[in-house]
Amino acid sequence: MLGLLPHLKVLHILFLAVWIAGLTALPVLLAEQDRAMRGPFLGRLRQVTHRGFIWCVTPAAVLTVATGTSLIFLRAVFSPWMFAKLVCVAALVGLHVWIGHAIAAPSKGPQSAARWVPGLPLLLLCLVVAAVLALVLGKPDLDRLPFPIWLRQPLGFSLPFDSPNP
């Protein structure tokens, strides 16, 4: 099972790169839709944005979370920095949902489609990605932070599968 870890890490990083690239490109495409306002270019741009979100960015997000979750359990990484990273992943999921809502809004009518300015989502994305990189690469000692006891030590419950000890 440990021979699988490097391959799983590579897949996790690959899916993450696609997800982050999509979250970077989609706000720019949404802003471009505001400039295109009419004509065949607008219809094509909306199709590309919608299909990119549905068929590329969302599967990459799901696969990133799935491979990351399996890595957590296979490596038994239950430390405070990992829980802080999971908070950042939740922020990425929230950003993903926000962008998806903005992509779907024009289909509900012109009044529900607000003008999209890509600056805020791109700034939030950069902050979250920087936080994830700092946590993953630095693995800071966060034991001094007031985490609840159930986050700091195992509660003695067994997993439904065997977990290898590193």
Residue at 166 is within a domain:
no
pLDDT in tens, 62-109: 999 999 999 998 888 888 889 899 999 999 999 999 999 988 887 666
Cβ contact 88:136 at 8 Å: no
Range of the domain at 65: 2-152
Share of the chain above pLDDT 90, in %: 49
Domains held by the chain: number: 1
Q: How many CA atoms lie within 13 A of 14 on its CB side?
A: 8
The pLDDT of residue 113 is above 60:
no
Residue at 58 is within a domain:
yes
Cβ contact 113:30 at 8 Å: no
Residue at 163 is within a domain:
no
pLDDT in tens, 17-45: 999 999 999 999 888 876 656 667 777 88
**CA dist., res. 157 & res. 160, Å (int):** 10
Residue at 131 is within a domain:
yes
Residues in the chain: 166
Cβ contact 147:87 at 8 Å: no
Residue at 66 is within a domain:
yes
Cβ contact 78:62 at 8 Å: no
